[in-house]
Each structure stands twice: as structure tokens, then as C-alpha cells.
Amino acid sequence: MSRIPLSLTGLLLFASLATSPSRSEELKDLYFGEALYYAHQGYYFEALERLDSEVLQHDGLDEPQLDTLYHHIDDAEFSLGDFELRYRMHHRAGRAIKAVLEGAVDEQVRNDAAYRLARIHFQKNQMADAIRALDRIDGKVPESIRDDIEFLRANVYLAENRPQESIAVLHDLQDSKSFGGFAAYNLGIAYLQSGQREDALQQLARAGQVATQDPAELAIRDKSNLVLGTILLEAGNFDEARLYLNRVRLDGPFSNQALLSAGWASMSSDDFERAVVPWNILADREVTDGATQEAMLALPFAYGKLKVHGRAAVNYGRALDSFGVEVTKLDASIESIRAGRFLEALTREEIRKDKDWVIRLRSLPETPETYYLMELLATHDFQTGLENYLDLADLRRRLLGWQASFDSFDDMVDIRHDHYEPLLPDVDEQFRQLDSRMRLRIEQHKMLVRRRDDLLTTPRPEFLATPEEQAVLARIEHIETLLQGAETPFEASLQRRMKRLKGLLIYTLETEYHARFTEFDRNLRGLDEAMLVAQGQYDQFVRSRQAATHSYVGYEKPISRLRAQVSNAIEQVDLLMARQGHALETVAIKELVTRRDRLENYRDKARFALADSYDRATQAQARVDEP
Amino acid sequence: MSRLSRSFMVVLLACIPLSSGIAQDLSGDEMRSLDGQVQEIKSDVLSISSELGNLEERLLYPSSTQIALFVALAEDESFRLDAVQLEINGELATHHIYSYKELEALQKGGVQRIYTGNVATGDHQLTVTMIGKLKNGKDLSQSDSFVFAKGIEPKALGITLGGPEFGGSGIQVGDW
């Protein structure tokens, strides 16, 4: 019985530990939101790709506090680990979470990280590491994961064969809202593991009567009753066993097994009539189910015991026909798997779009093998292998798509090259002219600004003379120079006239200086604005010129490197898919061969029993016919 | 109990554990090694994807002209968003019809990058049209226009959609 708790708790953890990033505080980083958008739809590859880039970019910033991701960085790093976990990248998930654990983070965040790390170790069956991670939890624990932590702890102890410690933890979880039903069942299993049989039976009985409407808890309640009934059946307490087996719901997932066991409990206490009841129900159910097949053989066996040999013979005949059909179907399934159709069916796109895709496989008429693989498909290891295969198929689809896109990239670069290359020499010539004009204007502008600044400290009215005034002033100065060297009787009067004219001009320049300076300053400010516009246009031109070059230069190396990487990755994926697919096919075929062998064994038994029943029926009839 | 029933009992007990013995074959060294290699190739492909994404962005959406539009739902909105249509300067940029999964992802706080494209620097007009259904079953159809300025750096605009209680047309656009 030791395999029960491990397998069950594994499944329960898978179902209950999964958490998803929830809507909490206001979202400040669009790209983090984008990663969540994909994660909420189950597209973890896309989510990881976006968030990984975003976190890497954030980590490379000089001032990360100015980045929008800064507000969510703890959540983002956690989510990275979470997405990696969900994308079954346990190695990376472990590293991401360890990084959070070793960082200077809040106590609650650290405890949450330790819990997630423990969960990864548990899923990888590394129980000692899981315990070490759980032991790091100390201080304040987030309320939302308090029970999750304890439930995980109990399961790790169970897996480590430390039932007493598990019992102590599970005791405290009995009233848990989220784990009550599961904890009740696991407590029973922990008692069993520790050899406390009576306590185990009582606990399983309690777990089998939990009042709930939750489908998962209803299933675990059925499971408790089934396990308890089976233990009692094994111990020879047939009446008591039947009591618990009858508590299992007829429409639950454990119904078939419970009906079969209930029949055997009755048979074992020689209550053949009662055995017929559950087996009659079961014999009409899905014929591929192992319990149904067993019931099809057990039912006529019970009729034989009741000495209803005619009916026994009819039922043996029915079983024989049915087993024959199923053996043929299984042979076809084995052939189908060998021909690769099983893996083909699994990778069909429309199947994967449905969240119940494993169940829907049964409805595929061209894949009969899937009828018999439901149990196998439900096992954790097979599912891991299967998910890996499907992930590889998904990676292959992506890689092939990318491989095709490289040619488009090359075309795009070539078209741009052919378009721009003839144009650029003219553009560059124009640019050189524009550039020299622009530089001249910039220098002129700078000179004017310097002059204005000088005039502010040292007023020079003549600098603000109009061109006419400057010409007049130059003329006066020229005449003054001429007059200085000339000997003429008019010199004195001419000099007076010159002085008057110069005085008039200087008077005008001095009195109008402030008005003229203000006007000069206003004009210069206007020029500043015009220079800004010109500078903007100049920059735009430079950017466009650069953009033209950047649109086709420098892509050759990265494209060819990526092309090679994609090509290598495809080769690796193909190799891994072949190995993984082969492993899955081998296991699936092995399962089908086991089921076929069992059915053939049943068929042989049915054949002999049928002959025997006919004989007995004939003998009975002969006895009746005797006078 | 007869031999037949004994053998049935063995089968019965063997069936109880959820994991069958076959699964143990799968948890062997080969499966673990395969699992490790699958994880490695996933990591490699993720890094290729990221590098390819950067290359694609540089090639198709240079930062000087790049514009990205994102759609989010206002918090606690109960209306059902069916479709969104976006026009830039009167020309259709994109439209999207939401699946149940996508809507659920938005309701949980996810943000959808609905459009990435190129526009010149300067002012542009964005027209957002949303179609959906209110909680009371009535049809909801709203449209609103917004002006945004595109500079030389990549532009990211967040479009938040809500029902009547969100105020105005139920459409808000903001820089991000």
C-alpha cells in the first residue's frame, strides 16, 4: 500500500499548488502586463520570452528606480520562476527562485520563494532538498499560502517515510478550507504508513464522510472509502468492506473499482446473489476499462455459483465475443502506435486547444490505442514525457516558422539596399551643402549672441547704427581725415560743420540706443526660435539618413548567426523528439501488450468456463427432463 | 475462495494505486536525462526567440517610428468585450475579436499588445472602437478619438476599456 500516498499526494499537489499571478496593485509596466496576458492563457513560452527580456533590461539599467518595472520587480522575478515551473523548466525555475531567496527581500517574499523552491524539489522527487527549503521558512508567512506550505510539508514527510511528523502536520490541517478533505485522507495514509492500523481505519472512515459539494473533495471522499473498503476486504472483513465500498458514488471516478470490489466482497462471503448486483451494473459500462472486463468474467462466475448455468453460459459467451473484439482492437492499436499514428494524434493542433485534450483523445476514431491508455496517460511520469514531447513539437513548429522568416528578412534587407544605395550619393551631397550652410548660420548666430552679451556690459551705440548711419559715419570720418592734412581757408568752418553732423549722428545713436538694443534683442530671440526649428529639421534629416543606413546595414551577421542557431536547434529538437517519442511509444506498447495479454488470459478462462457452463446447463436440463 | 477469484483479487489490489508499474519505467535515468535535455533546448530556443524578437523589432519597427498599442480592461469591469478596432489617422491599424481565454486573461490583469507599427514623428489621431455586451445583456458599442504626439523614441500607448461606470466613453488612452 505504500505506493498509494505518494501517487495520490503527487496528483493533489499538482492540482492544488498551482497559483497564478493575480490582479493586485495598479499595473505600471505594460510589458509585465503583456507577459501576464500570455501566462493567464497558458502560453508560458511567450510569457517567459517577454518577461525574461524585460527583467534582463531592467537589471542592466544604471538607475532601475526610474524604470516602470521597478514597482513590480519582486513580482516579476517570482513570476519568472513561476512561468518556468509551469513550462517545466525546473532547473531555471530553481535558479530564479534561489536568486530571490538570496536577495535582500522582505520576510514574506523570502518565505514565499522558499515554499516555491520546496515545491520544485518535491516535484523533482528531491525530498531532502525540499525539506531544507521548507526549513528556511521562518517568521511571517503570506496568509494565502500558509496551508499550502503545511500540506506540502506533510506530503514531503510522507514521501520521506516520516509518518509521525506528517501526522502532526496533517492534524493541524484538518479544518483547512482548501485542504481539509485531502488532509483527512492523507492523515489516514500517514497512520497506515506508521503502522497505526486502527487509527488509519478510523481516519479513512472520517475522510469518507466529509460533507462537501466540491468535485475534487468528492473524489477524495470516494477514494477514502475505496481504500478503506479494499483494506477491509484484504483483511477478510467482507461485510464491513462492502459498507464502505457502497459509499463510493456510482458516477465518480472510482466507481468502477468500487463496484468490482463490492462484488468480490459479496462473493468472498458466499453471498453470490448480492455479488451479481454491482457486477451487472459494471459489466454494461465502458468495455475498455479493466474493472469492466474483470466484471464481465466475474458475473457469469457468480451465476455459476448460483447454479444458473444457462445465464452464466450466455454471459461467458458475451464476454468471449467482447474480449475477442477488444484483443483485435488492441492488436490494431499496437500496430497503429508502431506506425507512428499515436504521436501524430497527440500533436494535432485542434486536440491541444481543448483543456480536456487527453479525454478527447478517446473520441478520435483513427487512434484506437488511446482507449486503453487513459490510465497510463494519467500517470505523472508518462504525462511529463508526453508534455515534453508536445513542447518539443511546439518548439519545432516555432523554429521552422523562424527558419522560413530568415529568407524574408534577407529579401527585405536586399530591397532596402537596392532602394537606398542609388539615392544616397545625391542625398549625401545635398546633406554636405546643408551641413556647411547650417554650420555657417550657427557661427553667425553665436557671434550675434556674443555681441548682444557684450553690449549688455559695455554699451557701444555705434554697433547698433543702421547701414545708412554707418555709411554716413564712415564718410564723416573719411572727410575728417582729409581735412586734417589739408590747408584750406575753409578748414575751420568745414570742421565745425563736420562736428555738427557727427554730433547729430552720435546724438541719434546715443538717444535711440536702448530702443535699438531692445529691438536687437527681440530680433535675436526670434532668430533663436528659427535656429531651433532649423536645428530640429537638421537633426531629423540626420536621423532619417541614419535610419536609411540602419534599415539595411549590419543585419547580415546576426541573421546568419541566428539562422545557424535555428538550424542547430531544429536538429537537436528532432533528435530529442525521436528519443522522447520512442520512449513514449515503447511504454504505450508495453501497456497495451499487458492489457492484451490480460484479455487473452481472460478469453482463455472464458472459453473454458463457457464450455463448462454449457456442460452443466445441459446436465441440469437433462436432470429436469428425466422422468 | 476459488483460484479464479484469488487471481481476480490480485488484479483488483494491483489496480488501486494510481500509478502503475509501467510509469516506473519512465522515471528511469533515460527519462531524467531526456527531461534535462528538453529543458536545455527550451532555454536555448527562448534565447533565440528573444534575439530574433530584437532583430525583428530593429528591422521592422525602428525606434524613431515605432508605436505599440496595448489594451487593458479597467479593474472590476464585468462587461464582456467582444472586439476592438483601432484606426490611426483615419486608417485601419488593426482589429481584434476576443476569445474567452483572451478576455479572461484581460480580466485577470493581463495587458494585450494589440498593435505594433510605424508612424512619423509629430501629432497623430488614434480612434478606438470597442464592441461588447453589458451585464444586463444590452449591446455596448463605443468609439472615441485621441491625439497623441510621436517623438523620436518608441511610443507606447495604453488603452484602458471599461463599461458605463468607467466614465465618459469608457475608453481611456494614456502614455506609458
pLDDT tens digits along A348-383: 766 566 555 555 565 555 555 566 777 777 777 777
Q: Which positions in chain B touch A565 (Cβ < 8 Å)?
A: 44, 48
Sign of the torsion formed by the C-alpha atoms of A184, A186, A192 and A193: negative
- Per-residue pLDDT of B3-57, as tens digits, reads 333 333 333 333 333 333 334 444 467 777 888 899 999 999 999 999 999 999 9
Could you tell me which residues are beta bridge partners of residue B143? B129
Asked whether residue B42 falls in the same domain as residue B103, the answer is no
Task: Determine the Cα–Cα distance for residues A65 and A71; give it in Å rounded to an integer.
Answer: 8
Residue A94 lies in a domain: yes
- Please give the pLDDT value at position A218: 92
Domain count, chain B: 2
Residue A13 has what pLDDT? 33
Residues 6 or more apart in contact with residue A80 via CB below 8 angstroms: A48, A51, A52, A55, A96
Q: With respect to residue A3, please indicate whether it lies within any of the assigned structural domains.
A: yes
Find the CATH number of the domain harbouring A89: 1.25.40.10
Residue where a domain terminates, one of A158, A188, A204: A204
Residue span of the structural domain in which A527 resides: 441-554
Total Cβ atoms within 10 A of residue A465: 20
Kindly state whether residue B4 falls inside one of the protein's structural domains. no
Which of B24, B65, B108 comes nearest A23 by C-beta? Answer: B108
Q: Give CA angle at A418 (A415, A424), nearest 5°.
A: 125
Lowest mean pLDDT among A210-219, A340-349, A425-434, A530-539: A340-349
Q: Which cell goes with A178? A: 482548501
Q: Which residue has the higher pLDDT, A26 or A161?
A: A161
Residues 6+ apart with CB under 8 A from B175: B148, B155, B156, B157, B158
What CA–CA distance (Å, rounded) separates A24 from A45? Answer: 23
B118 vs A231: CA distance, rounded Å: 70
pLDDT of residue A1: 31
Alpha helices in A124-246 (DSSP H): 127-135, 146-159, 163-172, 180-193, 197-207, 215-235, 238-245
Residue A470 counted as domain residue: yes
* Residues A601, A607: Cα–Cα separation, whole Å: 10
pLDDT of A447 above 70: yes
Tell me the DSSP string of A124-146.
TT-HHHHHHHHHT--S---GGGH
DSSP string for residues in A377-400: HTSHHHHHHHHHHHHHHHHHHHHH
**What pLDDT was estimated at residue A591?**
86
For the ranges A77-86, A158-167, B127-136, the lowest mean pLDDT is seen at: A77-86
Contacts of A559 in chain B (CB under 8 A): 55
Is A304 a residue whose pLDDT tops 80? yes
Assign 3-state DSSP to chain B and report helix, strand, coil percentages, each to 5. 35, 40, 25
d(CA A426, CA A411): 25
Q: Are residues B73 and B52 in the same domain?
A: no
Beta strands in chain B (DSSP E): 66-73, 80-88, 91-97, 112-118, 122-133, 139-150, 155-161, 171-175
Residues sharing a CB contact under 8 Å with residue B27, sequence separation 6 or more, in sequence order: A125, A381
User: Whole-model pTM above 0.90?
Assistant: no
Which residues of chain B are within 8 Å of residue A36 when distances are taken between CB atoms? 105, 108-111
Q: Cβ A569–B49 below 8 Å, yes or no?
A: no
- What pLDDT is stored for residue A63 in this prediction? 87
User: Judging by DSSP bridges, how do beta strands B80-88 and B66-73 pair with one another?
Assistant: unpaired
Domain-located, residue B19: no
pLDDT above 70 covers a percentage of chain B that reads 84
Answer yes or no: is B5 within a domain.
no
Domain stop point among A534, A554, A574: A554
Contacts of B112 in chain A (CB under 8 A): 34, 37
Q: How confident is the model at residue B136 (pLDDT cuts 50, 70, 90)?
A: confident
Burial A128-162 (b: 16+ CB within 10 A, else e): ebbbebbeebeeebeeebebbbbbbbbbbbbbeeb
Q: In chain B, what residues touch A412 (CB-CB under 8 Å)?
A: 59
- B73 min Cα distance to partner chain A (Å): 11
Interface probe with B: pick from A49, A561, A577, A596, most Cβ of B within 10 Å: A49
Q: Between chains, do A53 and B111 touch, taking CB under 8 Å as contact?
A: no
Taking an 8 Å cut-off on Cβ atoms, the answer to whether A22 and B53 are in contact is: no
Domain end residue (candidates: B60, B83, B114): B60
Q: Which of A537, A554, A571 is the last residue of a domain?
A: A554
Residues of B in contact with A7 (CB under 8 A): 17-19
Interface of B with A in 96-125 (CB under 8 A): 101-102, 104-106, 108-113, 121
Q: Which of A43, A388, A596 to mutate to test the interface with B (most CBs of B within 10 A)?
A: A388
pLDDT digits (tens, 9 = 90+) for A279-303: 999 999 988 888 999 999 999 999 9
In this prediction, residues A232-258 reach a mean pLDDT of: 94
> Does residue B105 share a domain with residue B34?
no
Average confidence (pLDDT) over A521-530: 88
Q: Which residue has the cell 505504500?
A: A2
How does DSSP assign A42-75, residue by residue?
A: T-HHHHHHHHHHHHHHHHT-SSGGGSGGGGGHHH
ipTM rounded to 2 decimals: 0.86
Asked if A290 and B11 come within 8 Å (Cβ–Cβ), the reply is yes
Residue A358 to residue B54: CA distance in whole angstroms: 36
Which chain B residue shows the shortest CA-CA distance from A291?
B12
- Assess contact for A585 and A376: CB atoms under 8 A: no
User: Residues B154, B99: one domain?
Assistant: yes
Domains identified in chain A, total number: 2
From chain A, the residues in CB contact with B68 under 8 A are: 30
Which residues, at least 6 apart from A195, have a Cβ–Cβ distance to it below 8 Å? none
Residues on chain A touching B53 (C-beta within 8 angstroms): 49, 53
- Strands laid side by side in the B112-118 sheet: B112-118, B66-73, B155-161, B171-175
Residue A369 lies in a domain: no
Non-local (6+) Cβ contacts of B136 within 8 A are none
Using the beta-carbon criterion (under 8 Å), do B18 and A41 form an inter-chain contact? no
Residue B9 included in any domain:
no
Domain contains B3: no
| Residue B133 contacts residue A56 (beta carbons within 8 Å) | no
Cβ–Cβ below 8 Å for A579 and B112: no
For residue A372, being part of any structural domain is answered with no
- Chain B residues in contact with A80 by the CB 8 A cut-off are none
Q: Which residues of A touch B13 (CB under 8 A)?
A: 230, 234
Q: Is B45 within 8 Å of chain A by CB?
A: yes
What is residue B22's predicted lDDT score, i.e. its pLDDT? Answer: 39
Is the Cβ pair B41, A598 closer than 8 Å? Answer: no
Residues B140 and B106 in one domain: yes
Residues B118 and B162 in one domain: yes
- With respect to residue A621, please indicate whether it lies within any of the assigned structural domains: no
* Lowest mean per-residue pLDDT among A113-127, A189-203, A382-396, B148-162: A113-127
pLDDT band per the 50, 70, 90 thresholds, residue A20: very low
Q: Is residue A226 part of a domain?
A: no
In a shared domain, residues B95 and B147:
yes
Q: What is the SS3 assignment for A251?
A: coil
Which of B33, B111, B114 is most worth mutating to test chain A (most A CB atoms within 10 A of its CB)? B111
**Structural domain includes residue A583:** no
**Strand residues in A305-361 grouped as ranges (E):** none
Give pLDDT, residue A445: 87
CA distance, residue A342 to nearest chain B CA (Å): 17
In angstroms, the separation between the Cα of residue B175 and the nearest Cα of chain A is 10
Calpha distance A224→A4 (Å, rounded):
11
Cα gap A297→A564, rounded to integer Å: 60
Strand partners, B149: B123
pLDDT at B39: 93
Q: How far A389 CA sits from the closest chain B CA (Å)?
A: 9
Give which of A41, A234, A607 to mutate to test B binding, by max B Cβ within 10 Å: A41
B91 and B40 co-located in one domain? no
Question: Has residue B81 been placed in a domain?
Answer: yes
- DSSP classification of residue A370: G
Chain B residues with CB-CB distance to A605 below 8 A? 4
Query: Taking Cα atoms as reference points, which of A39, A126, A109, A122 lies closest to residue A74?
Result: A109
pLDDT more than 90, % of chain B: 57
Question: Is there a domain that residue B83 lies in?
Answer: yes
B54 shares its domain with B74? no
| CA A571 to mean position of chain CA atoms | 24
Q: In angstroms, what CA-CA distances link A250 with A259, A261, A278, A297, A594?
A: 8, 13, 10, 20, 28
State the cell numbers at A90: 525546473
pLDDT in tens, A200-244: 999 999 999 988 888 888 999 999 999 999 999 999 999 999 999
pLDDT for residue A557: 93
**Candidates B20, B45, B96, B114, partner chain A, best to mutate (most A CBs within 10 A):** B45
Average pLDDT over chain A, rounded to an integer: 85
- Domain holding B52, by residue range, is 26-60
* Number of A–B residue contacts, CB under 8 Å: 227
Residue B102 has pLDDT above 90, yes or no: yes
Closest chain B residue to A25 measured between Cα atoms?
B109
Same domain as B83, residue B33: no
What confidence score (pLDDT) does residue A545 get? Answer: 84
Residues in chain B: 176
Task: Specify whether B74 is located in the same domain as B93.
Answer: yes
Task: Give the pLDDT of residue A563.
Answer: 96
More reliable by pLDDT, A256 or A379:
A256
Higher pLDDT, B21 or A148: A148
Residue B118, domain CATH = 2.60.40
**What count of residues does chain A have?**
627
Examine the domain organization and report whether B124 and B88 are in the same domain.
yes
Q: Does B64 sit within 8 Å of A11, measured CB to CB? A: no
Per cent of chain A over pLDDT 70 is 91
The residue-averaged pLDDT of A457-483 equals: 87
10 Å Cβ neighbour count for A21?
21
